[in-house]
A and B are shown apart, each in its own frame.
Chain A
Amino acid sequence: MIDTLCAVETPEGVELEFSPAGPVPRALAWIVDAGIRCALYLALASALHGLGRVGLGLTLLTLFLLEWFYPVGFEVLAGGQTPGKKLLGLRVLRADGAPVGWSRSTVRSLLAFADFLPFGFAAGLAAMLLGRRCQRLGDLAAGTLVVHVEPLQAQQAAQGGAEALAPPFPLTLPEQRAIMGFAERAPGLTLERARELADLLEPLTGARGDEGVRRLNAMARGLRGLA
């Protein structure tokens, strides 16, 4: 199967799967964060403006902190998510799946400077496109990943219809999973697409169109053990 998933093995001997985020959502998250940083900076700068030269010194200190430690603070204290990443459903993880700590997060943040070179994050983009796990230079040096957050969705309600069918001939496990997967995703498909997919399995269901979809759902119920 060709996909961008990557897996790490935990000490318990199971594989954890992640889906690394590509350049586009990460760039959008960066833009959101840049906006927030600018707004914070402007608010503080105008508040401190009244203090004259002392205010100028404090403004420069704020600029320094926002420039380098805005991502670090959020990534360590807010579960790997800056506000921009949260909005886009991304989070930073260590490559072994553990949460990212101060040191790694600082490495990522400092190396953003190298990623930016020679202009507009070109080096970072090149690194992301060349690597298998969409890591920019900072991620490579820190050993971190930016992944999509999979929503911990509640279990899907059982599909409508109560009947269950047995397949006319024995199916392998991957085939059974494909049929159950069809039933699981059917509510999210258009009727036309569901029919089109079910038509591919005419040799199995012996029917086309809506009848094929119905029989396939029924077989899925049987395979799941719902009947």
Chain B
Amino acid sequence: MRQERFERAHREEWDAFAAMLAPGHGAPGADRLPQTYRRVCRHLALARDRCYTAGLVQRLNGLVLAGHQTLYGSTLGLGPQWARFLAGGLARSVRARFKPVLLAALLLGLPFAVLPPAIARNPQLAYLVEEPQDLARMEAMYQPGAGRFGRANQARTDVAMFGYYIWNNIRITFQTFASGILLGLGPVFFLLYNGLHGGAVAGHLAHAGLGAQFWPFVATHSALELPALVLAGAAGLHLGWALLAPGRRSRARALVEAAREGMPLVYGAALMDGMAACIEAFWSASALVPPALKLAAAAVLWSAMAGYFLLAGRRHV
């Protein structure tokens, strides 16, 4: 069939199809979109096979692409997805990735566990990790009755700190995940770095006798912040591992799958960082809440986190 006859026979249908795809739904005959789409697909295949001109093939290619996008575009609502995610999907994803999660927890937790007792025995160790002026600043921040602990009316200040925590902490979480594509080296660095810093500061302050101010401040929000970093690090390590050992898949495919499997952990981490920022700005820093109450809340939150990640989402819904 000559191209001209082919075009004359189908031009009306193509124009109608383009009208159906135009933004603003309710075009006449939109319910016939799938059938029309399949016919246009056939026209594209015919046009290619019969070597019709590039202009026609390009137009049909564009029509098929637009139809493909309309038919196969995801239309699932975000609301129900999030509800299912929080009800147990997140915990399931974490348990499914328990190897990288464990590795990330060790990378962050080991320096955190080792440094404080070591610094208690040899206080000089803290200066291996931290600059003296930084440690002095930390000491000043946690003096009894100093800084924001002494201020009664600080609601205005706390919003600024909340914004800062969101901007800074979630950024670090995202960077920890993203740098995992560098063969997993990024998360190793971020986790060790934060573990060393946190451990050194905690050990130094405890040694300086400021633990009574320090522990109540960090105990509550760290129940969310530290696991968040672990989850993001685990997702990053998973990404790097897919590149190092893709198994029986191509590296490109392994990478895409690892990113998809890791994203729930990143969403969870960002969410936990957001909650941690709330707690840190409005609860941990508040001088109105007695330290004993802060420690009790911390105990509840830490157990709740453990309970959620161990137990939630076990039952099939």
Contact = CB atoms under 8 A, between A and B. Distances in A.
B43 to A, nearest CB: 9
Interface residues of B, number: 66
Nearest to A222: B2
Nearest to A57: B163
Nearest to A142: B259
B59 A153 contact: yes
Given A13-B45, A53-B157, A114-B182, A224 B2 contact: yes
Contacts of B66: 152
A57 B56 CA distance: 55
Given A111-B178, A114-B179, A143-B256, A61 B167 contact: yes
- A14, A52, A68, most chain B CB atoms within 10 A: A14
Interface stretch (B67-75, B219-227, B308-316): B67-75
A78 to B, nearest CB: 11
Contact of B178 (A64, A113, A153, A176): A113
A114 B186 contact: yes
Contacts of B38: 12
B69 to A, nearest CB: 5
Given A54-B159, A58-B163, A224-B2, A99 B69 contact: yes
A102 B51 contact: no
Contact of A142 (B3, B11, B256): B256
Nearest to B251: A140
Contacts of A181: 53-54
Interface of A: 10, 12-18, 52-54, 56-61, 63-64, 67-68, 93, 97-99, 101-103, 106-107, 110-114, 117, 123, 137, 140-143, 150, 152-153, 155-156, 173-174, 176-177, 180-181, 184, 223-226
Interface of B: 1-5, 7, 11, 18, 37-38, 41-42, 44-45, 48, 50-56, 58-59, 61-66, 68-69, 72-74, 78, 156-157, 159-164, 166-167, 170-171, 174-175, 177-182, 186, 239, 252, 255-256, 258-260, 263, 266
